[in-house]
Amino acid sequence: MPFKIIASQCTSCSACEPECPNVAIREKGGTFVIDPKKCTECIGHFDEPQCVAVCPVDNTCVIDTSLPRYQAPA
């Protein structure tokens, strides 16, 4: 399950974009979105998901439960 950004809460501050180690975040329609194909939940990069850690609005970068969890390549 990769992360997603809840658009209605996103302030479009752009803080998450440069922090993403997978370059999975971009601006789209006034807010920011995470490409689920690129998101690795920061596994292998950092101890905590960077978008969650830097986001100024709590509970805005959240796990997308509709998708399977990220599997690190064997």
Partner 1 sequence: MDVSAQHDASSSGNVDDVGEIMQAIAEHKGCGTTGGSGKASCGSQAGQGDLPTEIWEKVKNHPCYSEEAHHHYARMHVAVAPACNIQCNYCNRKYDCANESRPGVVSEKLTPEQAAKKVLAVASTIPQMTVLGIAGPGDPLANPEKTFKTFELISQTAPDIKLCLSTNGLALPDHIDAIAKFNVDHVTITINMVDPEIGAKIYPWIFYKHKRYTGYEAAKILTDRQLQGLEMLTERGILCKINSVMIPGINDQHLVEVNRAVKSRGAFLHNIMPLISSPEHGTVFGLNGQRGPTAQELKALQDSCEGEMNMMRHCRQCRADAVGLLGEDRSAEFTTEKIMAMEVKYDADTRKAYQEKVEEERVAKVAAKQEELAELAGASSDIKVLAAVATKGSGLINEHFGHAKEFQVYELSTAGAKFVGHRRVDLYCQGGYGEEDSLETIIRAINDCHAVFVAKIGGCPKGDLIKAGIEPVDQYAHEFIEKSAIAWFKAYLDKVNSGEIEHVERGDAAIRQGALISAA
In the region spanning residues 10 to 29, those forming contacts with partner 1, defined by CB under 8 A, are 11-15, 18-19
62 binds partner 1 (CB under 8 A): no
User: 71 vs 31, 37, 42, 56, CA distance in Å?
Assistant: 27, 12, 11, 28
Number of residues in the chain: 74
| Minimum CB–partner distance for residue 68 and partner 1 (Å) | 26
User: Among candidates 56, 53, 23, which has minimal Cα distance to 39?
Assistant: 23
Residue 53 or 67 having the CB closest to partner 1: 53
Give the binding site for partner 1 (CB under 8 A): 9, 11-15, 18-19, 46-48, 50, 53-54, 56-57
